[in-house]
Amino acid sequence: MGSATNTALLDEDADRAVERRHAAAAARRPTRPHRGAPDLTLIPEPGDPYMPPHTPSSVDSITEQTFAERVLQAERPVLIQFWATWCHPCRMVTPIVEQLAAERSGTLDVVKIDLDEEPELADRHGITAVPAFVVYAGGRPVGSWVGAAPMHVLEQKLADIGGTFEHGRVTGVQGSGDGR
């Protein structure tokens, strides 16, 4: 009976050790919410020093139904930001994009498209990573790039793609910002 009791205790200890290893491995494994589910762990707390301050959005969200009117038929160049709620870099660059929209409101329209809500638009533009940006002028894409960046880099990307934005038109188009 002593031997059976010792074996049972050893089995129980081994089971607990396996459970601890599995729990530790699960804690180290990065988690990503399923498509469409918000990852609430990334929502910044008020005063979070690692997140830019958030202001009310000056950038409209567009859908498949409003795309033609807001982008293809726009009189001015349009910067589209593709983003997702679970994307931390998207959240970091959004206030910068909103500031850019406010500063260039007379020469550039800025809109955003949620990757999870409008997957067809993302697929049509070949978006495989976010944040991603596409610049349209005259109803056609004239450049694109992927990745969050500070204001001066976004401004340089726009300058590289579109030359200058004069009277709501792009002049001196150089090509896309990503070599496409």
Minimal CA–CA distance to 129: which of 109, 112, 146? 146
* Cα–Cα dist 174/153, whole Å: 17
> What burial class does residue 19 get, using C-beta atoms within 10 Å of its C-beta: 0-12 exposed, 13-18 middle, 19+ buried?
exposed
Would residue 99 show up in a list of annotated catalytic residues for this protein?
Answer: no
* Cα–Cα dist 85/3, whole Å: 57
* Biggest CA pair distance of the chain: 93
End-to-end, the C-alpha distance of the chain in Å comes to: 76
Q: Listing from the earlier edge strand, what are the strands of the sheet with 60-61?
A: 60-61, 109-114, 78-83, 132-137, 140-146
Would residue 90 show up in a list of annotated catalytic residues for this protein?
Answer: yes
Collapsed DSSP state (helix, strand, coil) of residue 130: coil
Q: Which of 59, 74, 84, 87 is catalytic?
A: 87
Residue 162 corresponds to which amino acid?
G
Q: Which of 90, 96, 113, 137 is catalytic?
A: 90
Residues that are catalytic: 87, 90
